[in-house]
Amino acid sequence: MGELDGQVAIITGGASGIGRATAVRFAAEGAAVAVLDRDGETAARVAEEVGGSAHALDVRDGEAFARVLRAVADVAGRLDVLFNNAGTGDLRPLHTVDDKLWHRLIDVNLTGTFNGIRAAAPLMLEAGRGAIVNNASVSALTPTRNEAAYSAAKAGVVALTKSGALEYGPSIRVNCVAPGHVRTPLTAVWEQFPDVFDPVARAIPLGRIGHADEIAEVVLFLASARASYITGQTVVVDGGISLPQAGTDVALAELFERFSPG
């Protein structure tokens, strides 16, 4: 028996990366999965893979978001889980972020999550149950340089998560996952510049970059009955990179190896 048997789950940004991995994992646990993505063609391929449905959606469009969720719930007769996963990023110094880029990062990452919660909450409240999982980032908690706008948007996702948990309990649980460095199509640049990014992997206490299916496992947990007494929480899944002095520890270890006797 699967952990999500008979349940209906919606995943935004479900066409690739963490979204696709979560769609596969949810389906394996018995859920009927609706894959939402701006790329409708790729969403359709993932939906076919998991035996679900596909819907083209730009999460910045709140009215369209509400229509899609209502349509899914009307066809399936219920809505149990929403994974607000769609997101986008950019790296550049704060003072070079123009208005267009600022609004894109805020609108996709933060407003998109807001639109999802706003659309799902009435449907779940009608049913008296539901679980919402939002995808933030470890950068929401410990930003790195040149990602101010992205980090600000993701920090807003953490705040929305806590607000949703306060407002919609006990019927709806709202939690958040905060991934660290994970191999997805958005991080393909790491493969192109291994000399730059290999030190990042070495600085992670677990010694490697994460995989999308490892994040999917945590999303599944938060969506399932196993997390029945968890709400308003942000679960960091980063291999330990956000631990204080994690990067410094690598440098100190190298110095120790160089200069230790014998």
At residue 204, the 3 state secondary structure works out as coil
Please give the single-letter amino acid code of residue 215. Answer: I
Q: Cα–chain-centroid distance for residue 26?
A: 14
Kindly write down the DSSP assignment for every residue of 68-124, as one continuous string: HHHHHHHHHS---EEEE---------GGG--HHHHHHHHIIIIIHHHHHHHHHHHHH
Helix axes 194-203, 246-259, angle to 10 degrees: 90
What's phi and psi for 199, nearest 5 deg? -60, -30
Residue 195 — φ and ψ, nearest 5°?
Answer: -65, -30
How far, in Å, are 1, 141, 166 from residue 239 at the CA level? 30, 15, 29
Contact 103, 147 (CB under 8 A): no
Residues catalogued as catalytic:
150
Beta bridge partners of 176: 134, 234
